[in-house]
Structure 1
Amino acid sequence: MKSALPHRYSEHGQSLIEALVGLGILIILFHAFGSLIIAAYDLLGNSRTRITARQLGNEKIEQLHNLPYASLGVVGGIPQGVIPQQESVDRNGLTYTVRTAVIYIDDPFDQVAPSDLSPADYKRIRVDVSWTGRFVAGESVTLVTDIASNAAAGGGTLAILVFDSSAQPVSQADVTIVNNEVSPPVNLTLQTADDGRIILPGAPTCTNCYQITATKTDFSTDRTYSSLEVTNPAKPHATLIEGQVTEVSFAIDHTSTLIIFSKRDRDFSYGTLPNQIFTLRGGKTIGFDSLGDPVPKYNKQLQTAPTGTLSLSGMEWDSYQLTIPPGAWDLAGTNPLRPVVLYPNTSLDLAFASAVHSPDSLLLAVTDASGSAIASASAHLTGPGNFDETIFTGEANVPDFGQAFFSPLSSGNFTAQITKEGFMPKSDTIEVSGQTESTIQLDSL
């Protein structure tokens, strides 16, 4: 006869499993219910926060509607007024930031400047309310209204255009306008519209007085300059004349990264050269100095780290020249060839080779018709003192790609004969004096 004891243990185990399953279901239900309560609380809180922000915006709009038209503006703005550009308000346990902007609008109904001799047709008010604290939705409440007056506004019209490297308009670019020569002074920051423009009728008139800067997050910066900064600036501070339009344009784009590597020359197998000093100069200019020489926008003496590297972030798109200051070293090649073109929103590696200084040397680059470096071209150089040497231009993965460095030399005229399979041979006479650089272009067969 079989014992019933195992059967009783089986029923007890089954009851325990049922209890655990029931407890798990209750935990899931409680968690879901708690999540629902939290979500509802967040939704209610966010809704209440936005309602409060809208109330603050409406209060500011109402305050502006009650001001005399002549006082309707922000402190340091165009037009000038009595309202601060930014205020902080504590309401319901949160801190709200109220930003106010007031600008003149040139309505196309009666034509626009310069055809419209009175382009300040009405004022447009924009109030942005953002907040910090428990309920931050990552957005702001924005209110816009227009207020008109029967009286005509004087002054000139400041027209600003911001575009990128492809001549496309840049929207939401931050444009700062400062003028300390008028009373009250102007100091405001506005954002460009979708067409990259800001139009400010009714601006106080003055000569070379509006300091304007255009930029954007992760973009380069373009601005006007005074004669104290540059003797003859290419883009001087703006002048406004009564009843006329002053147009100023700025070019900005995404910044890039330039990573620089300093190396020894080919005779030392391109080993790392630490702490190497060099000069990097951009092709863009901001005007001319007192001697009539161009003033580059970027011109800095830099130094690589003990690892022989230097990373330059936030660099503007431009064509850059790298040189080595006179001293212990001569430039023996760069990869890529100079000028180094840096495009917007890119990262570029730039390696340069240095050789021990000699009084006279020749850095010879060999390119095709497009200006691209040619590797493994034979460069045969003959000249004073029975000099006769052949060097092949560097490969694509070395710092002297497409170049041959001859050193030491004597000053005088040398003959360079270049040959490369697939190209027509070419011979050229090069006068060497000091650290000489030359480029020879080969034509395809």
Structure 2
Amino acid sequence: MLNLMYEKNRKENGMALMDALVGVFLVLIIFLGIFGAYLLGLKVVSQSRSRTDATSIANEKIEAIRNMSYSAVGVIGGYPSGGISQEENVARNGVNFTVTTRIDYINDSFDGVEGDSCPNDYKKADVRVSWSNQFSGDVDLMTDISPNGISQECADVGGTMSVAVFDASGISITGANVDVEDVVSGLEKSCITDSGTCLFVLPEAVGAYKIFVSKDNYSAERTYEKNELVGSVVLANPGKPHATIFEGQVTSISFSIDKLSGMSSDTQAPESVGWWTDIFTDQSKISSMSNVAVIDGEARLEDAHAEPSGYLISSAITSAQLINWKEFSFDNYEPANTSLKYQIFYFVVDLGDWILIPEADLPGNSVGFAVSPIDISGLNAIQYPEIRLKANFSTSDSSSTPVLYGWTISWRKSEPIKIPNLEFHLQGTKSLGTDSNGNPVYKYSEDHISDLSGRIDISDLEWDSYSFAVDKSATGFDLLSTEPVQPVDVLPDTIQPIILNLAAEDTLLATVKDSTSFDPIFAASVRVYNVYLEYDQLLPTNELGKAFFMPLEEANYNIEVQSPGYSIYTGTVFVSGSSAETIQLTRL
């Protein structure tokens, strides 16, 4: 009974605690909502008060400008020149306001832009008042100030600069930023294009106006000073030099910008080497044999007393990505009075049978090969897409037999291998001008390096035609081709995929297998190094137990292979051309 009462009280207390927690949670939500509304109210009140004060300050400034004489309306160090500060600080109601004043001459299109001897038709005053305390904002007011007659209009005669901005298709761009700076006096003007054009009235100056045109997520273009340093190159003769303004004349200049693009580049060897090997651990790669026994990694005559000869034929060898055959090699032992000769067959569809490859296509095949390796690169892969190997055993001594330990066929296949950390140079065709020797100075000319996966994504490229170059002396690779063929056209607002196909003269394919099961070992660490050549590379094997090293030089290399649960292997390998090495690891 007491236990029942205790259990009842415990459940009631638990329910009461849950009710209390739910209630606290609900009250918290309500108070958070009230607090958020309170903060929003504070922001609205603060912003309203600050905006009212800013509007009042701007109106005061505008009225002061309107009450000035026409000739006095101008900013200190600006054009038109006057006594108004370009920037000043005003404190009001505990808030600090920044007042920025800009005065510009306007060349109104009403009386024409071209041929207007007095382009300073009137002045435009722009007063911007901004604040930044707990909350920020700004107020912008403008007014026009007209001259009192032609004498005031022509009292300060400047020139007009017309800046037109187009995209890659020649269409005018609205909303582009045009910044103009007199590099001598420091005078600065800016404008946002309306219908693709900005007009500036500026004082006369020769080759002094630097123009910079930009827009968010667009390329940029600007003028350059003679002998300006661009990167590490002196631009002796800019194609678009700083602009000149003459009194009463119009200087027209155009710029082309467009949306930025990108490039996704893969660095790879377009081909790799395929291998077929049989070391006779079993009969899985044998199609037929006669009087030959396969035991413990050896193929030998089964009964030399009864029959002095025999043969062994491999299973069919082919590859879906075959480009051409490379080499046939074998490892055997021929005691005195014994012989092993090798031949290669191909399948004839019309006959439905395997036929010896003719002597005309493979000299020595009819008699049989006795010296390894045999170059079979001359075989036409289209005519001979599938082959079989045949080993002919014979002896004249019934107590002795030749032994075949293993044989291998290699071929070139169209399976690319990614090349990591490959440095290449990317260059556009757009020129900024020439250097002192008359050589072009390119707008884009940069070095890049692919990542560990053999890829690099290049951003912020403008539309152009781009070319690639690889320094063989620095990388060990030749650039064979690009896909698509270079120069590669990059259009505005696109991501252009590109493949760089490369080749190295000397490579090594290392294959790591279990010494008992002969299964490939995945993620084994293979280190290949040569102290004198200052080469030291560590790679993991893939799911086929392979690691590919390139570029190398023709030389001897040390090789170390490690994998958890196996003894460490150390040895040497000679690399020349497309070399291969199979390493068998022993379990601990």
TM norm structure 1: 0.66
Distance 2:28 2:453 in 1: 58
**429, 432, 438: which one aligns with 1:283:** 429
Report the residue type matching 1:147 in the other structure.
I
Three-state SS of the structure 2 residue aligned to 1:140 is strand
1:284–1:27 CA distance, 2 compared to 1 (3 A): closer
1:324–1:173 CA distance, 2 compared to 1 (3 A): same
Once the two structures are superposed, what CA deviation does each residue of 1:350-390 show, in whole Å capped at 9, x if it has no partner?
221211269xxxxxxxxxxxxxxxxxxxxxxxxxxxxxxxx
Q: Which residue in the other structure is 1:322 paired with?
A: 468
> C-alpha displacement at 1:63, in angstroms?
3.9
Pairs aligned (count): 338
> C-alpha displacement at 1:26, in angstroms?
8.3
Contact 1:172 1:191 in 2 (8 A): no
Report the residue type matching 2:106 in the other structure.
I
Distance 1:348 1:93 in 2: 55
> C-alpha displacement at 1:197, in angstroms?
2.0
**251, 255, 263: which one aligns with 2:256:** 251
Three-state SS of the structure 1 residue aligned to 2:126 is strand
Q: Which residue in the other structure is 1:166 paired with?
A: 169
* Residue segments in structure 1 that go unaligned for 5+ positions in a row: 1-15, 359-445
| Superposition pairs of residues 413-432 of structure 1, within 5 angstroms | none
Q: Give the superposed CA RMSD.
A: 3.3
Report the residue type matching 2:56 in the other structure.
Q
Distance 1:28 1:307 in 2: 50
Contact 1:69 1:149 in 2 (8 A): yes
Q: By percentage of residues, which structure has more strand? A: 2
Answering whether residue 420 of structure 2 is matched by residue 274 of structure 1, we say: yes
Answering whether residue 217 of structure 2 is matched by residue 218 of structure 1, we say: yes
Q: Which residue in the other structure is 2:59 paired with?
A: 58
1:264–1:289 CA distance, 2 compared to 1 (3 A): same
> C-alpha displacement at 1:320, in angstroms?
0.9
Report the residue type matching 1:289 in the other structure.
D
Distance 1:357 1:227 in 2: 46
* Residue segments in structure 2 that go unaligned for 5+ positions in a row: 1-15, 229-234, 274-414, 507-588
Contact 1:171 1:191 in 2 (8 A): no
**114, 120, 144: which one aligns with 2:142:** 144
**228, 235, 242: which one aligns with 2:240:** 235
Report the residue type matching 2:52 in the other structure.
I
1:216–1:130 CA distance, 2 compared to 1 (3 A): farther
Contact 1:272 1:308 in 2 (8 A): yes
Q: Which residue in the other structure is 1:356 paired with?
A: 504
Q: Which residue in the other structure is 2:205 paired with?
A: 206
Report the residue type matching 1:279 in the other structure.
H
Contact 2:115 2:248 in 1 (8 A): no
Q: Which residue in the other structure is 1:304 paired with?
A: 450
Report the residue type matching 1:329 in the other structure.
F
**159, 167, 175: which one aligns with 1:156:** 159
Report the residue type matching 1:254 in the other structure.
K
Report the residue type matching 1:149 in the other structure.
P
Q: Which residue in the other structure is 1:344 paired with?
A: 492
Report the residue type matching 2:503 in the other structure.
A
Q: Select between 119-128 and 264-273 the one with higher mean Cα deviation.
A: 264-273
1:73–1:310 CA distance, 2 compared to 1 (3 A): farther
1:112–1:34 CA distance, 2 compared to 1 (3 A): same
Three-state SS of the structure 2 residue aligned to 1:176 is strand
Q: Which residue in the other structure is 1:260 paired with?
A: 265
Report the residue type matching 2:133 in the other structure.
G
TM norm structure 2: 0.51
Once the two structures are superposed, what CA deviation does each residue of 1:122-171 show, in whole Å capped at 9, x if it has no partner?
111112233323233xx532101011223113121111122222323333
Q: Select between 219-228 and 22-31 the one with higher mean Cα deviation.
A: 22-31
Distance 1:276 1:24 in 2: 59
| Superposition pairs of residues 121-136 of structure 1, within 5 angstroms | 121-136=121-136
The structure number with the bigger radius of gyration is 2
Three-state SS of the structure 2 residue aligned to 1:54 is helix
Distance 1:228 1:36 in 2: 61
Distance 1:206 1:348 in 2: 43
Distance 1:95 1:336 in 2: 59
